[in-house]
A and B are shown apart, each in its own frame.
Chain A
Amino acid sequence: MTTSTATIMGYERPNGDIGIRNHLLIIPTVICSNQVCSRIAQLVPDAVAIPHQHGCSQIGSDKDRTFDVLAGTGKNPNVGAVLIVSLGCEVVDPVALAEEIKKTGKPVEWFDIQSVGGSVKAIQHGADIARRLKSQLDAEKKVPVPLSKLKVGVKCGGSDATSGLASNPALGGAADALIAHGGGIVIGETTEIIGAEHVLAERCATPETKEKLYEIVDRFEKEVERMGADMRGGNPSPGNIAGGLSTIEEKSLGCISKCGTAPIRGVIEYAEDIPEGGLYFMDSPGNDIECVSGMAAGGAHIVCFTTGRGTPTGSAVVPVIKITGNRRMFERMSDNMDVDVSGMLTGEISLEEAGDAIWKEIVEVADGKLTKAEILGHQEFSINRIGPSL
């Protein structure tokens, strides 16, 4: 075990954050800029674009949420520089977006396609800027940075019975190890604590946090009521059910162990900045890509993702470590899986040994080891919406 003065090799950011990757991020403010952004990313090695469906015909808190996720992704400490591509007439303001990301001190540039004169010129113009930013990033060197600054999201998806019995409790052990080193853990998926919220509520550090936790679960459940449907079939999904999970309560009770045993210091909004050190709950949907994208926008460096059914999920800016307790799936989908803890269910390894294996993987990935999702180029990105398209 490392000590709390442990370091990893990473990038020192101007605002004091540490980065464990050094991405050049190409952000479309709006769906209309997606193609130009994707083309620019193809022309510059290791640049990553985050195409999405949103950025226009949105109002109020829904518009703000799109802005916050785009800004948060740009501000993520694994991002070294940002190019924003606007169409020129959309709802998301590229100047405000650039200003928000610039608060971190990293280089940010933007232009709009209408002013530059169409897609071909915009791709050329953007590629020129992107190449310049990329050569700046390539000159930056990794230095020893404190492990205690690391923030890790814990998420499960494509769950089956092994998730609650093995991979989630094992991940909980690794979460406790990071917190013991002074690091931060964020758990989300408000839908997937329904039926288990009373267990987490007992761990809230203050009565206010406890009340907020109950409030956000109640809001999600009322939304299900408004739709007049049984959650079952949507969550748990058909795959969860085939894997042996019968109800949302059963799934939730299996989910919550992945955040370990620390007190919950606070409930934060979707995509809100994750405070340093300790355990926080992010109000977010169970949907894998929306939840991981929200954690990345909140500043997580890594997401640890348990799965029993098997999923390839990655992220545009955050390494996603895939962990399973299902040996049959591990053997079928080994190109997507990073850590196998299925020995917990055959008596080969203990809970503690499984937690140690995940903790070791977290430190190695923080130090630069690529995850399977990174090797395979999985760069999923999705924004949770809370309003109608106008």
Chain B
Amino acid sequence: MAGQVQAGADAIRMHADDHVATALRDLKAGETISFTFAGERFQVAMSEDVAFGHKVAIVDIPEGTHVKKYGETIGRATTDIAVGRHVHVHNIEGIRGRGDQAGKGASA
């Protein structure tokens, strides 16, 4: 778990390996958000709206990347995701519990 959230932070990043941060308010395209991690201040220019609780890419994420949150893999990028974009079901997929891909050699 990351340290305490700073009052006024726009997002929270949980781990040094993370590709994403989670929005702590409704973030709007065009604004620059800021948050602190491990004592360092980060800024990200938002290229689309990201609702409270949803994730924003804090680095460029190439297609196929195992996307990290909490320092662990939460899924795989199904397309290139640029920094500042919304990261969700439209551009990452689960690797586990994929009965739809069973027998297709798609297990991780």
A residues lining the B interface (CB < 8 Å) = 160-162, 164-165, 169, 191, 194-196, 199, 221, 224-232, 235, 241, 243-244, 246-250, 253-254, 257, 308, 326, 328, 344-348, 350-351
B82 at the interface (CB under 8 A from A): no
Question: Do A347 and B22 touch across chains, with their CB atoms under 8 A apart?
Answer: no
A235 proximity list for chain B (CB < 8 A): 97
A169→B70 CA distance, assembly (Å): 12
- Asked whether B14 is an interface residue with its Cβ less than 8 Å from the other chain, the reply is yes
Q: For A194, what are the chain B residues with a Cβ–Cβ distance below 8 Å?
A: 96-97
| B100 interface residue per 8 A CB criterion | yes
Given A199-B72, A228-B102, A254-B70, A169-B94 contact (CB < 8 Å) = no
Contact between chains at A231 and B53 (CB < 8 Å): no
Q: Answer whether residue B69 sits at the interface, using C-beta atoms and an 8 A cutoff.
A: yes
Contact mask B1-23 → A, CB, 8 Å, 1/0?
10011111100101000000011
- Bound CA–CA A350/B6 (angstroms): 10
Which of B's residues lie within 8 Å of A, judged by CB?
Answer: 1, 4-9, 12, 14, 22-24, 51-55, 69-70, 72-75, 87-89, 92-103
Contacts of A195 in B (CB 8 A): 72-74, 94-97
CB pair A347–B87 under 8 Å, yes or no, is no
B75 touching A250, Cβ below 8 Å: yes
Known contacts: A232-B89, A246-B87. The answer to whether A253 contacts B72 by CB under 8 A is yes
Residues from chain A with Cβ under 8 Å of B23 in the complex = 244
With most chain B CB atoms within 10 A of its CB, the pick from A196, A225, A351 is A225
In the complex with contacts A161-B54, A244-B55, A346-B7, A231-B72 CB distance below 8 A: no
Q: Name which residue of chain A comes closest to B14, CB basis.
A: A165
Instruction: Report the minimum CB–CB distance from B39 to chain A (whole Å).
Output: 15
B75:A246 contact, CB within 8 angstroms: yes
Bound Cα distance from A250 to B72, whole angstroms: 9
A-B contacts, 26 listed (Cβ < 8 Å): A160-B53, A161-B55, A194-B96, A195-B73, A195-B96, A195-B97, A224-B97, A225-B102, A226-B99, A227-B99, A228-B102, A229-B99, A230-B100, A231-B94, A231-B97, A232-B89, A232-B93, A232-B94, A241-B88, A244-B22, A244-B51, A246-B55, A246-B75, A247-B74, A345-B24, A351-B4
Name the one of A199, A231, A248, A257 contacting B1, with C-beta atoms under 8 angstroms: A257
Contacts of B7 in A (CB 8 A): 346-348
